[in-house]
C-alpha cells in the first residue's frame, strides 16, 4: 500500500503547474490584446488618411474609366479605387500587428499562417494592378477594332471587338493569377487549346461569309485612282455619272434613279468611260 502514488500530491502539483502557466500566459495575452488595439487604431487612421489623399489627387478618375467599360457596367458595381486601396492598406497593417501579437503569445502555427498572409498581400496588389491595366488595354483594343471595322464597312464590328476584349481579358486574368502565386499551367494549356479551336473555326466561317466584302475592299485599292466622282461610265447596259465611291461600292446616277454596284464589278465586268 505504501507504493501507491499520493493522489492528493499529484493533483496539487498539476493544479500548481496550471496556475503557473496561466500566470505566465496572462501578461502575454494582455500584451497581445494591447498590440491588436494599437494596430487597429493605426490601421484605421492610416487607411482614412490615404483614402482622403487619393480622393483629393483624383485617383478615383481611373476607377471612373473602368466603370465606363461595358463589361464592368453589366456587373452593376461601382469601382472606387481610393476605397479599395485604403481597405487593402488597412488589412495589411492590421496583419502586421497581428503577427507581432501572435509572436508575443508564442504560438508558432498562428504566426506562420499570418506571415504567409502578409507575404501574399503584395502579390495580390501587383495582380490587381495588372488586372486593372489589362482591362483598360482590352477595352482600348475593343474600341480600336470596332472603329477599324466600321471604317472598312466590315459587318459584326461589335462582335469582333467583344471577342478581342474577352480574349485579352482572359490572358490578363491568367497572368494576374500567376503573379499572385497561383499555378496556372493547366488553365493556360486548356485556354490555348480552346482559343486555337475557336480562332480556326471563326476564321474559316467568317472568311467564307465575308469574302465578297474583302473582294470589294481590295478592289477599292485598284479602282480609286481610275474613277472619280463626276465621271460618266457605263457598266454593261447601265450608264450614268459617278456620285459617290466608298470602300465597298460605287453609286451611279442613272436618270431619275441611282444604281449601286459592288466595287468588284469594276474588275470583273466591262466598263466604258465617257
Report H helices in the chain: 7-56, 60-67, 70-74, 81-105, 108-151, 157-179, 185-209, 211-223, 265-268
List per-residue pLDDT tens for the chain, 274 residues long.
455 556 767 777 777 777 776 667 778 888 888 988 998 999 899 989 988 888 888 777 777 777 777 777 776 777 777 888 888 889 888 888 888 888 887 767 677 777 777 788 888 878 888 888 888 888 888 888 888 888 777 767 788 888 888 888 888 888 888 887 787 777 777 777 777 766 766 666 555 555 555 555 555 555 666 777 777 877 777 787 878 777 667 788 877 778 777 766 666 666 777 7
Question: So what's the pLDDT on residue 38?
Answer: 92
- How is the beta sheet containing 249-254 ordered, strand by strand? 257-262, 249-254, 238-245, 232-235, 271-273
Question: So what's the pLDDT on residue 1?
Answer: 46
Query: Are the CB atoms for 101 and 195 separated by under 8 Å?
Result: no
Cα(207)–Cα(201) distance, integer angstroms = 10
Domains and CATH numbers, the chain: 7-177 (no CATH), 213-273 (2.30.30.60)
Would you call 252 exposed, middle or buried from its count of C-beta atoms within 10 A (0-12, 13-18, 19+)? buried
Residue 136 per-residue DSSP state: H
Query: Are the CB atoms for 219 and 257 separated by under 8 Å?
Result: no
Phi, psi of 126 (to 5 degrees): -60, -40
Residue 243 per-residue DSSP state: E
Q: Would you state the cell numbers that stand for residue 182, as one nine-digit string?
A: 497561383
Q: Would you state the cell numbers that stand for residue 121, as one nine-digit string?
A: 498581400
Cα(24)–Cα(28) distance, integer angstroms = 7
Contacts by 202-210 with C-beta closer than 8 Å and gap 24+?
Answer: 202/163, 206/156, 210/154, 210/155
Give the contacts of 185 (CB within 8 A, at least 6 positions apart). none
Tally Cβ neighbours within 10 Å of residue 38.
13
Question: Of 252, 262, 228, which Cα lies nearest the Cα of 153?
Answer: 262
Q: Would you state the cell numbers that stand for residue 128, as one nine-digit string?
A: 490587381
Amino acid at each position: 500500500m505504501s507504493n501507491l502514488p499520493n493522489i492528493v500530491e499529484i493533483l496539487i502539483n498539476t493544479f500548481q503547474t496550471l496556475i503557473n502557466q496561466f500566470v505566465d500566459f496572462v501578461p502575454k495575452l494582455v500584451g497581445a490584446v494591447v498590440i491588436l488595439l494599437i494596430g487597429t487604431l493605426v490601421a484605421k487612421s492610416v487607411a482614412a488618411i490615404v483614402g482622403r489623399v487619393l480622393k483629393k489627387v483624383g485617383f478615383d478618375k481611373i476607377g471612373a474609366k473602368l466603370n465606363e467599360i461595358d463589361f464592368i457596367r453589366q456587373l452593376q458595381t461601382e469601382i472606387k479605387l481610393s476605397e479599395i486601396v485604403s481597405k487593402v492598406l488597412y488589412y495589411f497593417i492590421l496583419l502586421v500587428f497581428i503577427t507581432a501579437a501572435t509572436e508575443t503569445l508564442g504560438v508558432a502555427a498562428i504566426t506562420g499562417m499570418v506571415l504567409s498572409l502578409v507575404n501574399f498581400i503584395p502579390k495580390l496588389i501587383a495582380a490587381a494592378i495588372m488586372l486593372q491595366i489589362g482591362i483598360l488595354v482590352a477595352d482600348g483594343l475593343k474600341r480600336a477594332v470596332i472603329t477599324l471595322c466600321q471604317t472598312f464597312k466590315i459587318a459584326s464590328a461589335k462582335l469582333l471587338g467583344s471577342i478581342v476584349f474577352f480574349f485579352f481579358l482572359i490572358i490578363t486574368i491568367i497572368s494576374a493569377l500567376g503573379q499572385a502565386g497561383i499555378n496556372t499551367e493547366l488553365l493556360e494549356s486548356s485556354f490555348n487549346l480552346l482559343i486555337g479551336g475557336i480562332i480556326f473555326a471563326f476564321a474559316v466561317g467568317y472568311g467564307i461569309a465575308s469574302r465578297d466584302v474583302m473582294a470589294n475592299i481590295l478592289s477599292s485599292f485598284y479602282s480609286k485612282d481610275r474613277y472619280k466622282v463626276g465621271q460618266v461610265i457605263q457598266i454593261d447596259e447601265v450608264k450614268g455619272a459617278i456620285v459617290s465611291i466608298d470602300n465597298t461600292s460605287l453609286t451611279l446616277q442613272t436618270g431619275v434613279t441611282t444604281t449601286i454596284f459592288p466595287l468588284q464589278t469594276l474588275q470583273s465586268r466591262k466598263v466604258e468611260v465617257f
